[in-house]
């Protein structure tokens, strides 16, 4: 089994769902973990359960990301994750919704990665991993902002991987499929909608947050040192 003792990890969007499960798995593997999210109450509770420290920050705000990074200091592992961007039909997305999605989904992943990189490069070891989505390779009708911007994050991370590979820093993305969390309540419009989706998943079930978290933990390990610029789908075969 992998172990991460001596490594310090920052996991954002970690008061619930995939972020919280990732923080849990990294803690179990021995990492020192800092969790971040918007709402203090849930975050404080999560941090206490995990024996992690926490910083409240809204990831759609550049200044709050700067403050978060300053408070956390150097980290060895960054897990860039946040809530999903606005939903709706492709032709109906307003400029305001695009802008909101851009700040939350795209720029947060750019700003967090850029912020943690210098100290990783100087130490010659680092892991940068963004949580994206199954929509990266196969768009879903109601998620145009996610479809477009996750592809942007994926290719930006691949670009960054090219730049920093020789410094011992790997940069990858993990794309969850349909995973049983609060977010799915926004995605499924009805029980029939959910039943239809289950029929489309070769594994015939939703994924769990821990299944996504375990893939993230592998990419964060020493053992994954030669894997960079990759997108790892954890989707029960949906994207095949
Ligand atoms: P979730 O809604 O359960 O949890 C999201 C977390 O992000 C929470 O901790 C929340 O507080 C935090 N967050 C939301 N907005 C924030 C902001 N502005 N600043 C700081 N923190 C913020 O979501 P999840 O299901 O765990 O999904 C995590 C990511 O994976 C999302 O981007 C989601 O779109 C993506 N994803 C999820 C699924 C799925 O089926 N659950 C599938 C594909 C992609």
- Describe the strand order of the beta sheet including 77-80 as a list of residue ranges: 53-56, 32-37, 8-12, 77-80, 126-131, 169-176, 231-234
Radius of gyration of the chain (CA): 17
Question: Closest Cα to atom 10, ligand 1: which residue?
Answer: 13
Q: Which of 18, 54, 187 to mutate to test the pocket of ligand 1 (most atoms within 8 A of CB)?
A: 18
CB 113 within 8 A of CB 165: no
Whether this prediction's pTM lies above 0.95 is answered by: yes
The neighbour count for residue 37, using CB atoms within 10 Å, is 26
CATH code for the structural domain at 8-234: 3.40.50.720
Going from the Cα of 82 to the center of ligand 1, the distance in angstroms, rounded, reads 5
Q: Judging by beta carbons within 10 Å of its beta carbon (0-12, 13-18, 19+), is residue 26 exposed, middle or buried?
A: buried
Q: Determine the Cα angle at 24 with ends 220 and 165, to 5°.
A: 10
How high is the pLDDT of residue 98?
Answer: 97
pLDDT of residue 1: 66
pLDDT in tens, the chain (240 residues): 689 999 999 999 999 999 999 999 999 999 999 999 999 999 999 999 999 999 999 999 999 999 999 999 999 999 999 988 989 999 999 999 999 999 999 999 999 999 999 999 999 999 999 999 999 989 999 999 999 999 999 999 999 999 999 999 999 999 999 999 988 877 787 889 889 999 999 999 999 999 999 999 999 999 999 999 999 999 999 999
What tokens appear for 32 in the block?
Answer: 């020192």
Ligand 1-lining residues (CB < 6 angstroms): 13-19, 37-39, 58-60, 81-84, 104, 131, 133-134, 176, 178-179, 181-184
Point out the ligand 1 atom lying closest to the alpha carbon of residue 182.
3
């Amino acid at each position: 089994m992998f172990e991460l003792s001596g490594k310090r990890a920052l996991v954002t969007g970690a008061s619930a769902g995939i972020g919280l499960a990732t923080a849990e798995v990294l803690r179990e593997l021995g990492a020192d973990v800092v969790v971040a999210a918007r709402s203090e109450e849930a975050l404080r509770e999560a941090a206490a359960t995990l024996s992690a420290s926490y910083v409240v920050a809204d990831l759609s705000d550049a200044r709050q990301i700067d403050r978060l990074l300053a408070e956390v200091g150097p980290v060895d592992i960054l897990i860039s994750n946040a809530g999903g961007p606005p939903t709706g039909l492709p032709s109906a997305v307003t400029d305001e919704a695009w802008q909101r999605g851009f700040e939350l989904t795209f720029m947060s992943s750019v700003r967090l990665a850029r912020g943690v990189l210098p100290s990783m490069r100087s130490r010659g070891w680092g892991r940068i991993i963004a949580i994206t989505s199954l929509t990266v390779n196969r768009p879903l009708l109601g998620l145009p902002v996610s479809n477009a911007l996750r592809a942007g994050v994926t290719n930006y991370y691949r670009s960054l991987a090219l730049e920093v590979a020789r410094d011992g820093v790997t940069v990858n993305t993990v794309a969850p499929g349909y995973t049983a969390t609060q977010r799915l309540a926004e995605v499924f419009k009805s029980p029939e909608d959910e039943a239809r989706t289950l029929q489309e998943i070769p594994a015939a079930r939703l994924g769990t947050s821990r299944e996504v978290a375990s893939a993230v933990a592998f990419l964060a390990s020493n053992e994954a040192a030669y894997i960079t610029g990759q997108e790892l789908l954890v989707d029960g075969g949906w994207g095949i």
